[in-house]
Amino acid sequence: MTSPLAGDLAALPDLLQTTRDYAVSVLAGLDDRPVARDPASVPAAPLPAEGAGTAGALAEFQRRWAPGFSGSAGPRYLGFVTGGTTPAALAGDWLTGTFDQNGSNRSGSSAAALEDETVGWLGEMFGLGAEHSGTFVSGATMSNLVGLAIAREWVGDRRGVSVARHGLAALGEIPVLSGAAHSSVFKSLSILGLGRDSLRPVATLPDREAVDVTALAAALEALDGSPAIVVANAGTVNTVDFDDLRAILALRERYPFWLHVDAAFGGFAALSPAHAHLVDGLAEADSVCVDLHKWLNVPYDGAVQFTRHRDLQVRVFQNAAAYLPPITGTPDHFHLTPENSRRLRALTAWFTLAAYGVAGHREIVTRAIDAAHHLGERLQAVPGVQLLAPVRLNVVCFAVPMDVTDLAQAVADSGEAFLTPTVYQGKPALRAAFSNWRTTRADADRVAGLLENLLP
């Protein structure tokens, strides 16, 4: 063993203690760390020839890189849709690396069974039934990709072609219908060879991002019985709008289509008694995408992919080889997703669910919804500010009487909060998305006060 590695092995308990102490100081200082940092340039260092050992690496990280890291784990990082890490999820993350299990298969470890238990818990929490099986992936983009890959195989089946065996050329065009699809759906269609242009946008309801189901029915009717993929949205990023899943499901009696639901963060509406109706029907979707590094508050990266058609999933993703276990009974995870070897991502979710249960996670969800509504109410009283949609769940989308990029920059420069700009119905706007377990009404008040100060 080279000397820094041998030295580290001998000093392992001390090194872990030092790292732990540093992590504690980072979390204790979260309130003082600027919520966002200007990504100032750190000159690249040369490849270390000998290495400095863990203590040296930690010192260098603290000196060169840590100062530029944002406070995105804290309560006022409201850009994109950004969760945090609950204490239990952090403990689970440390142990994921500590045990370093390969979650790809069931040989020689019960790690894959822990993933099954976790997926079962999550399915139950989101109101899915026993017909849905699930697997962990790295994010909602991957979950959409996997769901749409299975959908592609299903359409092929209807036309007597296996895309998994014969490729896309044997199939021709597949129509994909959606109201206000997330950008990751277009990316998935590009990767899957269906093409971004295969998505045919369907009209949304007036002043809404929810699909107009009458227009969707007309688009399906025009396909003349040809099977299609419908991507329904359960929580759009701009205004957290929900398609009417029940009404879409009713169309399945007349038209053949695969229903994929992107419930990346909107799926968590199932936890709030006042909002659970928004995801009514989710259990009947063919595939469902839910992100976990957003509203479950596990660290990056983690999401879950659910489907009712595991047989087709195995057809697409199977990875058979002489040295790998054969596919019998419950398929190993490497027959279900793009990855082969993979991190045991389920452990962070397992820890947070074991620690806080449904009740604890319901509290996180309802507190975020409350904070969003509170900010919405405060902003409505600010002259010149206009909410572009009612606060439906956990996002406030608003127009301001100044350049939104300038305002977003001023918010970031203040170090107190972080918001991201968007365009909604042609209007430049700002979004404040609430999904961190630490966020309270007091944070919403601080953000409202900050915006009042910065606005003309």
Ligand X SMILES: *Cc1c(COP(=O)(O)O)cnc(C)c1O
Site for ligand X, rule CB under 6 A? 81, 139-141, 182, 184, 235, 237, 262, 264-265, 291, 303
Q: Nearer Cβ to ligand X, position 237 or 411?
A: 237
- Cα(166)–Cα(310) distance, integer angstroms: 20
Q: Nearer Cβ to ligand X, position 105 or 118?
A: 118
Q: Nearer Cβ to ligand X, position 283 or 303?
A: 303
Minimum Å gap between C-beta 202 and ligand X is 17
- Cα(102)–Cα(111) distance, integer angstroms: 8
- Cα(28)–Cα(16) distance, integer angstroms: 18
Minimum Å gap between C-beta 139 and ligand X is 3
Minimum Å gap between C-beta 29 and ligand X is 27
DSSP conformation class of 62: I
Q: Nearer Cβ to ligand X, position 219 or 298?
A: 298
Minimum Å gap between C-beta 303 and ligand X is 6
Minimum Å gap between C-beta 446 and ligand X is 25
Q: Judge if the upstream peptide bond of residue 301 is cis by omega within 30 degrees of 0.
A: yes
Residues in a beta bridge with 428: 423
Q: Nearer Cβ to ligand X, position 145 or 375?
A: 145
Minimum Å gap between C-beta 267 and ligand X is 10
First and final C-alpha spacing in the chain: 63
Q: Which residue pairs from 352-360 have beta carbons closer than 8 angstroms and sit at least 24 positions apart in sequence?
A: 352/86, 352/88, 352/89, 352/92, 352/296, 352/297, 352/298, 353/118, 353/121, 353/122, 353/125, 354/88, 355/86, 355/87, 355/88, 356/86, 356/88, 358/125, 358/271
Q: Nearer Cβ to ligand X, position 291 or 416?
A: 291
Q: Nearer Cβ to ligand X, position 86 or 144?
A: 144
Q: How many CA atoms lie within 13 A of 403 on its CB side?
A: 4
Minimum Å gap between C-beta 147 and ligand X is 11
Minimum Å gap between C-beta 394 and ligand X is 11
Is 316 in contact with 149 (CB distance < 8 Å)? Answer: yes
Looking at residue 106, its amino acid is R
Q: Nearer Cβ to ligand X, position 264 or 447?
A: 264
Residue 91: is it exposed, middle or buried by C-beta count within 10 angstroms (0-12/13-18/19+)? Answer: middle
Of 97, 142, 104, the C-alpha closest to 292 is 142
Question: Which pair of tokens denotes residue 445?
Answer: 């008040």
